[in-house]
Amino acid sequence: MEQYQAIIIGFGKAGKTLAATLAKEGWKVAIVEQSSSMYGGTCINIGCIPTKTLVHGAHQKHGFAAAMERKSSVVEFLREKNYVNLAQSENVDIIDGRAEFIDNTSVRVYQDDGVIELKGNKIFINTGAQSVVPDIDGITTTPGVYDSTGLLNLTTQPEHLGILGGGYIGVEFASIFANFGSKVTIYEAAPLFLPREDRDVADAIAALLRDDGVNIILNAQVQALSSREGRVLIHTPEGVDDVDALLVASGRKPATEQLQLQNAGVDVDSRGGIIVNKYLRTSADNIWAMGDVTGGLQFTYISLDDFRIVRDSLLGEGKRTTDDRQNVPYSVFMTPPLSRVGMTEEQARASGLNIKVATLPVAAIPRARVIDDTRGVLKAVVDADSQRILGVSLLCPDSHEMVNIVKTAMDAGLPYTALRDQIFTHPTMSESLNDLFAGFICP
């Protein structure tokens, strides 16, 4: 049994960064990854990087085949780079295979040519998340039904793409394929579209998608799936629809089912998420969990921050915790993208705070005129008493860059007037924050 100071299960953002860091400190590290196509983790291989590369390709009016080819080359380049970054370290062993726990210090790895066992003083779980498969008859047996990973590997563009689920993943793919010229239909079981957003913002997003030719069906009750003559049949109480391909975008859950966590005394919640404390320690004192596998926010930058917390516990002062996180932003890379940080108007009103709200149509922004994309709206919510920014929703080009400016101001506790009166370059989308925050009545 090979002995290591650290065993890391999963080659994701937190795991690979921790492996490199510990190796530089002289630790002997094993990093176990069950698929050679996943070096670097979800983001690089089947998440952020390939989807955003396709967003760019669709926006640039590249053909579907050319965009898919470029997507593959970008992913392959980054995957190889991530592998080499660790493989070149004499203190890191990259071990291919599926890991499961023997006990809290031992791991069994199933490889193509046999089984090996590893022993580690400390073990870190970074296995990420996997697609949720709804209980629908035919969903696992019908040809032409894909999860997001499968859809990213299509070689032929579907003329009509169906999407089961109208959440953020579904919205991104709907926008991508609509911009490539596919007909798209979203089947959303809930009565509300994007319920986490304010209704005016959600309605604006729905309008943008519909302008691109996306059909959004709410209260959609998909009862079964089948196939006929190479097409996917979608059975609902209203009848049978047919599409060329169907994306199942029903969310993701922690990938813990095969780890045999009970052997290590690691507790999980009802969805399989590993339960951790604010230092990311599990119920087993020498085992940590990082990234999507904890059941928290599924963002690469949260996984990176998880690494920082664990690094501080191992090599620093042990003061960093998940409690230190403030105002986590997110972006949905539809076209134009939606980015949000902090409270919505609905949340702020429910909190009982004395609030002020301002909106700005993107058509009023000079830069939007320059780049010929005036779709969308900007919205800000502030505390009228403290002048603190409570949150923004930005549905506009470059919102994924702008939201970081607002987050920085919020984290620093600056009043909204700091952005209202800031000097920005011109013509830029960022300077619209001047006008957005000037929309409040000055106290």
Residue pair 206/338 in contact (Cβ under 8 Å)? The answer is: no
User: How far is Cα 48 from Cα 333, in angstroms, rounded to an integer?
Assistant: 9
Beta carbons within 10 angstroms of residue 92's beta carbon: 24
- Active site residue: 59, 62, 160, 426, which one? 426
SS3 406: helix
Residue type for position 105: T
Cis check: omega of the bond before 158, within 30 degrees of 0: no
Residue carrying structure tokens 């607002």: 406
User: How far is Cα 119 from Cα 7, in angstroms, rounded to an integer?
Assistant: 8
User: How far is Cα 398 from Cα 336, in angstroms, rounded to an integer?
Assistant: 8
> What is each CA distance from 344 to 143, 196, 250, 381, 398, in whole angstroms?
40, 8, 24, 7, 20
> How long is the chain?
443
Residue 337 CB partners (closer than 8 Å, separation 6+): 331, 395, 396, 397, 398, 399, 400
Instruction: Write out the two tokens for 423.
Output: 């000097």
Q: Is 261 exposed, middle or buried (0-12, 13-18, 19+ CB in 10 A)?
A: buried
| Interstrand relation of 338-342 and 330-332 (parallel, antiparallel or unpaired) | antiparallel
Return the closest-CA partner of residue 96 out of 112, 80, 74, 77. 112
User: How far is Cα 89 from Cα 18, in angstroms, rounded to an integer?
Assistant: 13
User: How far is Cα 87 from Cα 23, in angstroms, rounded to an integer?
Assistant: 11
Cis check: omega of the bond before 237, within 30 degrees of 0: no
Residue pair 185/163 in contact (Cβ under 8 Å)? The answer is: yes
Beta carbons within 10 angstroms of residue 97's beta carbon: 19
For residue 426, indicate whether it is catalytic. Answer: yes
Residue 366 CB partners (closer than 8 Å, separation 6+): 426, 427
CA 435 to chain centre: 30
User: How far is Cα 16 from Cα 33, in angstroms, rounded to an integer?
Assistant: 10
Catalytic residues: 426
